[in-house]
Amino acid sequence: MAYVILGAGAVGGTVGFRLAQSGQRVTFIARGEHGRAMGERGLTLMSPVGSDRLDVHVLESVGEHTFGLDDRLLLCTKSQDAVSALEGLDPRVPVFCFQNGVATEPSAVRILERVYGVMTWIPSSHLEPGVVQVFSDSPAGSFRLGCYPRGEDSLSQEVARDLTDAGFDAVSVPDASRWKYGKLLL
């Protein structure tokens, strides 16, 4: 079992870094200068408690990764890039949508069998190749996740536990879409 982080910017870089730091197997999908920097120098996470660097496994595209059915894809791209980023993915691979908006899940569920919504609240930034910043600690961010369009299952509960173990406030909920819409209203 591995976490595959598609989009290693502010959110994906922070989440993937913390998951790897907590002992999870993580593969990053990152393009361009950021991906090259991660491959050459590792990924640096700057936080209120200091700076850490990890050597990471990074690929340039989803097609370079051989997915197992027990892998979890964390989709952390911008909303406008999300659906095209999923092209060619085995429809059985579970996908967790970490976008701020609410448009990704309805599009993803048309091509994938297991789609999860994630309300994402993480103060982070990515301005330099190979470096991400998170501006809080204990927790580093907050997530509410569940099946799309409704419900929760053993996988959403397991991912929430892994995120909690990685230093986030994460809870599996039966109504992740409600949480996402609530955040939009704020």
pLDDT at 83 over 90: no
Please give the mean pLDDT across all residues of the chain: 96
pLDDT at 104 over 90: yes
Mean per-residue pLDDT, 55-63: 94
Residues above pLDDT 70, as percent of the chain: 100
- The reported pLDDT for the residue numbered 137 is 93
pTM over 0.85: yes
Please report, as a single letter, which amino acid is at residue 133.
Q
How far apart (Å, rounded) are the C-alpha atoms in residues 176 and 31? 29
Mean per-residue pLDDT, 78-91: 90
Enumerate residues 6+ apart whose C-beta is below 8 A from 38.
8, 28, 30, 56, 58, 129, 130
- The reported pLDDT for the residue numbered 87 is 86
Using pLDDT thresholds of 50, 70 and 90, give the confidence band for residue 69. confident
| Closest among 99, 94, 77 to 32, alpha carbons compared | 77
| Closest among 169, 165, 174 to 117, alpha carbons compared | 174
Peptide bond preceding 48 in cis form (omega within 30 of 0): no
